[in-house]
Chain A
């Protein structure tokens, strides 16, 4: 079946602009995660959704970052007033609510470059 998909695959934006990154999880997966991968910080957790709720958003680095999930499916990560330090690969993952909740399946990522 289809895996996790993310769009766009690449995004170049000017400093100060807003960007939206999209994630389509595996069908039927109730949990969805956003991570960020950057040279300086490695792989960092951003936010976790169970259904449409976000019980853990402890990794969001500032109030410029927000995310939502609708219909228990697609999620959008929004970064407002982008800064150069936001340049990174943003990875989305999903997992089932069942006994294998810990098996997270990752998408290919969105590479964000802020100029």
Chain B
């Protein structure tokens, strides 16, 4: 079965610092990979996705992620954190087996310190 592991339930960075949120998945075939962001009391918003093609994908708000098959990873980065980036971030997968449901990681809460 697919599983998604997010290392670090809480990450704190200073404003302007690099953001790195880690995600590893278990799969025998490359799945579809996603990062979602959730602001307080709101639904989930798609940040970026990897399906096929270029392994470095760019999303909204300056975020990007790189699919590394050899490491089964899909880490999320942003060069310079902004206060408005404070939120919870979820990595998710859809296995390439015809299923459509997302399997989510446990989430990482990002705090941005002034």
Contacts and interface: CB of A to CB of B under 8 A. Distances in A.
B43 A108 contact: yes
A107 B43 contact: yes
Interface residues of A, number: 25
Contacts, number: 52
A43 B94 contact: no
A62 to B, nearest CB: 18
B106 interface: yes
A91 B49 CA distance: 20
A105 B46 CA distance: 7
Interface of B: 32, 34, 36, 41-46, 49, 51, 90, 92, 94, 99-107
26 contacts: A4-B43, A33-B100, A33-B101, A33-B102, A42-B104, A42-B105, A42-B107, A43-B90, A45-B101, A45-B102, A45-B103, A48-B100, A48-B101, A50-B100, A56-B100, A101-B100, A102-B51, A102-B94, A102-B100, A103-B49, A104-B46, A104-B102, A106-B36, A106-B44, A106-B45, A108-B43
